[in-house]
Amino acid sequence: MSVVVDAEHLDLARFIRRGDRIVWSQACGEPISVVEALLAQAGSIGDLSAFAATSFSGVIDGPAADKLQIDSLGAIASVRPGTHKRPLGIVPAHLSQVAQLIETGLIGCDVAIVQVSPPDANGEHSFGLTHDYVRTAVAKARVVIAEVNEKVPFTFADATLPSARIDCAVRTSRGPLETPPAPPGDPIRSRRAPRHRGPPRSRAGPAFLQRAGCAQTP
């Protein structure tokens, strides 16, 4: 692990290059402190894109979000409001296919941003609350930026993240994101994002494949 910083002192230009493609962990494992810094600094780095499978934090709906091209599985949760400020790149796939798309390069991953627990006695971090495509993202990335959150539990799964694989560890102490429970009898309405006028703007599946450099099949 080469650099350890607190979130408020994070200078992402030391690790992220112009034109980099970023993948960050999703849902309750979203590394909110680092994503906030990314949105604040993306404009000065330039030409960045990011894949966020889902987001419930609301951070990518902020005023700086238009500095970053976002790709997602759809206009899901708090991803949706941002589509009224910038087009959303749609990845036409199921969540279970994301790791394979990262592995093959259809979802580019120069930089992986993940949230992890503090290390154990062997210097291994747990991926905590999400353990889906993050392992593949870490394996493919040139740079790994880990939000090391002391409030994230060490959970036992088939993989951990060695401290030696982390290029920048960002120390935080904030409660992990929680999705609000649905009231009885209305489980879907309670999880909808706030309403906005007009349909979401998005780039459909074929457009994403063109940007990924893939030929379309008739």
Q: Which residue ranges form the domains of the chain, and what is each CATH number? A: 3-177 (3.40.1080.10)
> By mean pLDDT, which of 42-51, 62-71, 75-84, 87-96 is the weakest?
75-84
SS (H, E, C) 27-66: HHHCCHHHHHHHHHHHHHHCCCEEECCCCCCCHHHCCCHH
Question: Which residue shows structure tokens 């402190």?
Answer: 33
Q: How far apart are CA 16 and CA 143, in angstroms?
A: 8
Would you state the pLDDT for residue 177? Answer: 77
Tell me the pLDDT tens digit for each residue of 125-179.
999 988 899 999 999 999 999 999 999 999 988 889 999 999 999 999 988 877 7
pTM of the prediction? 0.80
Q: What average pLDDT score do residues 172-189 get?
A: 71
Q: What average pLDDT score do residues 85-108 get?
A: 88
DSSP 197: S
Higher pLDDT residue, 183 or 47? Answer: 47
